[in-house]
C-alpha cells in the first residue's frame, strides 16, 4: 500500500517531530510511505481569507503531487478537511480538476481516521503513561467525523487514562488568521478551553491539529501553566511523547 504523507506547513516548520511520529505510525502498520518533497501548504489560509485564486493554485499543486498514491494521510483534521471537502468546491466550475479533486478526496484521510478505519490498527507500540484529556478539533470533528477514532486508538495504549473535559468539542478559538485579526476574542475563547483542561485534572492535553495545539499551548504557558503537556495524538500513539 503506497501512502503519501502530507505533513502540513505547520508541522513542517513548527513541530517536525509530529511528522516523524506520523511516519513511524504508518510504517509500523505496514505502509510504504513517501513524502513528496515539493509539498508546501494546502492553501487554506488564502481560501479562508477570501482569496479563492490562491486556494485554487495550491489545491492544484497538492492534487498533482499526490496523484500516484493509494492513500494520502494528513496529521491534521483542518488540512484534511480542506483536501476532502473544499478542493472539490474550489473546482466546481472546472470538470477536469473537479474530477481529480474528487478522486484525491476519496483517497485522503486524517491520520487517526486512517489508522482506525482503513488500517484497522489493533495494536500500538507505545509506552505512554498518564492521564490525558482530548480536544476535538473543529474541522476534524465536524467536517470529517473524527471523534471515536482517536479515542479508540488511545484505548490501545495501555498506560493512557482518558478523562474527558467539559466542552471537549467546543472550538479553541484558533480559527487560522482569526487568532491574529481578533486576538482578544480568540484569547477569551482559548482561555475557557484552558480552564476546562485544567479542571479535567489531566496531565496532558492531546489533540490532532497544529493550530489548536499552538493556540492552547501558547495560552497555557502565558497564564503560567508550565506543567500541562500539549501533545499531538501522533506523538502519544507512536510512543514518542
Interface residue list for other proteins (CB under 8 A): 7, 9, 11-17, 19-20, 23, 35, 37-41, 43, 45-52, 54, 57-58, 61, 89, 138-139, 142-143, 169-171, 173-190, 214-215, 217-219, 221-222
What are the angstrom distances between the C-alpha of 149 and each of 114, 130, 155?
Answer: 9, 20, 10
> What Rg value do the Cα atoms of the chain yield, rounded?
17
The nearer residue to other proteins, 10 or 157, going by C-beta atoms, is: 10
Nearer to other proteins by C-beta: 57 or 158? 57
Helices (H), the chain: 9-13, 16-28, 44-48, 52-65, 77-81, 87-90, 95-107, 111-113, 138, 144, 148-154, 178-181, 183-200, 210-222, 233-238
- Provide, rounded to whole angstroms, the least separation between the CB of residue 13 and other proteins: 5
User: In the chain, count of helices (H) and strands (E)?
Assistant: 15, 8
Cell of 209: 491539529
Q: At closest approach, how far in Å is the CB of 10 from other proteins?
A: 10
Cell numbers that stand for 181 in this block: 485579526
Look at residue 3 and give its three-state secondary structure.
strand
148/155 with CB nearer other proteins: 148
Q: How far is the CB of 35 from other proteins (least distance, A)?
A: 6
CA 204 to chain centre: 17
Buried b / exposed e over 146-163, threshold 16 CB at 10 Å, is: bbebbbebbebbeebebe
> Least distance in Å: CB of 161 to other proteins?
25
When the beta carbons of 156 and 187 are compared against other proteins, the nearer one is: 187
Nearer of residues 150 and 157 to other proteins, judged by Cβ: 150
Residue closer to other proteins, measured from CB, 100 or 193 = 193
CB 69 to other proteins: min, Å:
16
Q: Kindly state the smallest distance separating residue 99's Cβ from other proteins, in Å.
A: 21
Residue closer to other proteins by CB (options 51, 159) is 51
Contact 98/105 with Cβ under 8 angstroms?
no
How near is the Cβ of 120 to other proteins at its closest, in Å?
Answer: 27
Amino acid at each position: 500500500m503506497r501512502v503519501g504523507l502530507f505533513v502540513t506547513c505547520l508541522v513542517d516548520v513548527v513541530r517536525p517531530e509530529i511528522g516523524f511520529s506520523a511516519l513511524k505510525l504508518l510504517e509500523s502498520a505496514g505502509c510504504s510511505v513517501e513524502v513528496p518533497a515539493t509539498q508546501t501548504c494546502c492553501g487554506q489560509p488564502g481560501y479562508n481569507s477570501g482569496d479563492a485564486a490562491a486556494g485554487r493554485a495550491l489545491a492544484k499543486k497538492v492534487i498533482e503531487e499526490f496523484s500516484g498514491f493509494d492513500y494520502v494521510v494528513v496529521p491534521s483534521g483542518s488540512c484534511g478537511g480542506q483536501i476532502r471537502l473544499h478542493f472539490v468546491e474550489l473546482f466546481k466550475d472546472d470538470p477536469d480538476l473537479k474530477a481529480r479533486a474528487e478522486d484525491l478526496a476519496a483517497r485522503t484521510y486524517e491520520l487517526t481516521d486512517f489508522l482506525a478505519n482503513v488500517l484497522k490498527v489493533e495494536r500500538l507500540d507505545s509506552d505512554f503513561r498518564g492521564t490525558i484529556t482530548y480536544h476535538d478539533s473543529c474541522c476534524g470533528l465536524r467536517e470529517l467525523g473524527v471523534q471515536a477514532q482517536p479515542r479508540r486508538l488511545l484505548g490501545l495504549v495501555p498506560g493512557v487514562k482518558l478523562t474527558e473535559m467539559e466542552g471537549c468539542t467546543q472550538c479553541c478559538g484558533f480559527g487560522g488568521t482569526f487568532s491574529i485579526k481578533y486576538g482578544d476574542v480568540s484569547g477569551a475563547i482559548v482561555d475557557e478551553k484552558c480552564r476546562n483542561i485544567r479542571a479535567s485534572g489531566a496531565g496532558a492535553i492531546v489533540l490532532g491539529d497544529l493550530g489548536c495545539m499552538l493556540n492552547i499551548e501558547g495560552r497555557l504557558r502565558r497564564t503560567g501553566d508550565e506543567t500541562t503537556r500539549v501533545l499531538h495524538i501522533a506523538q502519544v500513539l507512536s510512543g514518542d511523547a
